[in-house]
Amino acid sequence: MNIVLLGAPGAGKGTQAQRLVDEFGVVHISTGDLLRAAVKAQSSLGIQAQSFMKTGALVPDELVIGLVKERLSAPDAAAGFILDGFPRNVAQAQALDAELETLGKSITDALLVDVKNDVIIERLSSRRTCRDCGYMTNAQAASERNNVCPKCSGELYQREDDKPQTIAHRLDVYQQQTFPLISYYEKRGLLVKVDGDRPVDEVYTTVKDRLGL
C-alpha cells in the first residue's frame, strides 16, 4: 500500500490517513508535519521553508523533495506508506515517481478526499493547535480549556495558516497548482475519489471499500 493523498487543505486527509495507519500499520508521511518540525528545529531546510509557510505559499519543490526522499529511505517506510501533502503539483509527482523507481517502488493509489471550499474555510478557521505537541481541537473546546492543551498543557493557538485570509490564499494556490494532479493520476488509472463532506466514520468506510481493503 503506497498511497498519495489528494485534496484541498482541511479536507480531512490526515484523519483518514491516521485511521489507515492504525489499522494496517503503514507509515503516515505528512510533509506539513515534517516541515513544521524542521522550522521548530531551525534546521537549514526549516529556515528556508518558514517564510513560505507563514504566508500560506507552497514551499519550493527542491526543498520538499529533499525532505521526502530522505523520509522514504527510512527503514519504517519499507512496508508501505501514505504520503500526505506531497506531491502538490505535477512536477513533484513526476519527481516522486522517479525517486520511487530507484527504490523499486511505485504509487498504488491516489486517494482524493473531496470537500467544498466553504466547508474547508469553516473547518480550518476554527482549528486550534498546541504549540508544543501539535494536538488539534476546535476553537470552542480550546476556549473551554482556557487554551491549555489536554495532552501536554501547552498553549492552544490559531496557526497563521489557519486564519481565514491565509486559508483563502491556500485554496487559490491549490486550485492553480495542485488540482492538475487529479488529472495526472486519473490518466494513470490510480485515482480513487471519495466525498469528504460526511462524518469521519462514513468517509473511512468508503475509503476502505474503494481501496479494496
Q: Catalytic site residues? A: 13, 88, 127, 159, 170
- Does 198 show up as a binding residue in the annotation? yes
Among the listed residues 155, 164, 172, 17, the one whose alpha carbon sits nearest the alpha carbon of residue 86: 17
Cell of 178: 495542485
- Does 13 show up as a binding residue in the annotation? yes
- Does 188 show up as a binding residue in the annotation? no
- Does 7 show up as a binding residue in the annotation? no
- Does 86 show up as a binding residue in the annotation? yes
- CA dihedral defined by 130, 73, 82, 142, rounded to 10 degrees? 0
- Does 189 show up as a binding residue in the annotation? no
- Does 123 show up as a binding residue in the annotation? no
CA distances from 169 to 35, 36, 151, 163, 198 (A): 19, 19, 31, 10, 24
Contact 26, 81 (CB under 8 A): yes
Residues tagged in the binding site annotation for AMP? 31, 36, 57-59, 85-88, 92, 159, 170
Residues tagged in the binding site annotation? 10-15, 31, 36, 57-59, 85-88, 92, 127, 159, 170, 198
Residues tagged in the binding site annotation for ATP? 10-15, 127, 198
